[in-house]
Structure 1
Amino acid sequence: MKKLISIVLAVGALGLAVPASAQFAKPEDAIKYRQAALTLLGNHFGHLGGMAQGRIPFDAAAASLDADVVALASKLPWHAFGPGTDTGRPNAAKPEVWKEQAKFKELSDKMQAEVTKVAAAAKTGNLDNLKGAFGPAAQSCKACHDDFRKR
C-alpha cells in the first residue's frame, strides 16, 4: 500500500509540474483526467466520511492514508478545466465553470484548504478531531457542487 501511495504522490507531483497545455493532447484527455482525479478524491473522502459519521469503524491508519490522498487529489483536477473541455465527452460540469472562473477558483481553493485541515486532523489519530474537520470540508465540496456540477 505504501508503494501505491508513493506512486500516486509521484504522478501527482509530476502532473503539477507540467503545464496543462503540454499534458493533454485533446480536450477529451483533460476531461478524463479531471474525472479520474475527482473520482479518486471522492472515493477517499467518502471513506473518511463513513468513519466520521460512524457508518464504518474508525481506523486511524486508514484515515490518515485517505486524508493524504484527498489532500493530494484536491490539487489535481483544476487545470483540466481548460478551454474546449466544456463539450465532447459527457461530463458533470455546468457551463458556469467557464463563465464564473473566479468563483470556481475561489471555491476550489477553499476546498483545498479545508481538506488540508482534514489531513492534519486525521494524523492525530483522534476520531473527534476528524469529525470536527470533516464537516467544513464536506460543506466546501457541496458549495462547489451546488454551483458548478450537474445533477
Structure 2
Amino acid sequence: MKNLALLRRLVPATLIAGLLVSAGAQAQFRKVDDAVEYRKAALHLMGAHFGRIGAVVKGDKPYDKAAVEADVAVIEMMSKLPWPAFIPNSAGGHSKAKPEIWSQQAEFKTATEKMEGEVAKLSAAAKSGDLAAIKVSFGSTGQSCKSCHDNFRNR
C-alpha cells in the first residue's frame, strides 16, 4: 500500500517533468552520446515495466489491478520521451538505431505513433480491470514494439 501511495504521487510529477524535458530534449543534447543515453534509458524503463505486465499476462505473477495500472502509467509516460532524442547523426556508437530512422522519418514517426496509440489502449484496458482485455491489448502493444524494432533497431 505504501508503494502504491508513493507511486500515485510520483507518476504525475514524473509525467510533468518528462513532458517538460521532452519538449526541449533536442535542444538539450549537446553531445550525441547524451541523446543516445537518454533515449536508451527511456526505452529500457518502458521495457522493464512492460516485462512486469508480461509476467501477469503469462500467469507467472498474480494479477494486481493497481500494480498493472501503475506499470502502464510509467510505460505511457515513457512512450513519449525517446523520440526527440533521435537527433541527426546519432546512429552508431553505442546506439542500436538503424540509419533508416533518419532516411525513413515518416515511417519511423508512424511507427512511434502506432506504439503510443497501442499504449493508450493498454492504459484503458488496465483501468478497466478486465484481465482478458489487458492480455489482448498487451499483445497488440508488443507487436507494435516488435515491428519498430524489426524495422529500425539493430540487434
Q: TM-score, normalised by structure 1?
A: 0.92
Check whether the contact 2:19–2:81 (CA below 8 A) recurs between aligned residues.
Answer: no
Q: 1:127 corresponds to which residue?
A: 131
Cα distance per residue 1:80-122 (max 9 Å; x no partner): 111121133x111112111111111111110000000001100
| Coordinate RMSD, CA, aligned | 1.3
In structure 2, what is the equivalent of residue 73 of structure 1? 78
Percent identity over paired residues: 48
CA distance in 1, matches of 2:17, 2:32: 20
Which residue is 1:137 aligned to? 141
Distance in 2 between the 1:21 and 1:49 partners?
32
Distance 1:17 1:85 in 2: 18
Q: Contact 2:46/2:79 (CA < 8 Å) preserved in 1?
A: yes
Does 2:107 match 1:103? yes
TM-score (normalizing by structure 2): 0.90
Counterparts of 2:144 and 2:47 in 1: how far apart (Å)?
A: 13
Residue type of the alignment partner of 1:14: L
- Unaligned 5+ residue runs, structure 1? none
Which of 37, 42, 46 is the matching residue for 1:37?
A: 42
Give the corresponding residue for 1:3.
9
- Quote the Cα distance in structure 2 between the aligned partners of 1:74 and 1:4: 17
| Contact 2:36–2:86, Cα closer than 8 Å, also in 1 | yes
**1:150 matched residue in structure 2:** 154
Distance 1:120 1:16 in 2: 23
Q: 1:15 aligns with which of 4, 21, 30?
A: 21
State the Cα distance separating 1:49 from its structure 2 match. 1.5
| Structure 2: distance between partners of 1:135 and 1:15 | 30
Letter in 1 for 2:131: L
Most deviating of 7-16 and 102-111: 7-16
Alignment match of 1:62 (pick from 36, 46, 67) = 67
Shift of 1:21: 3.2
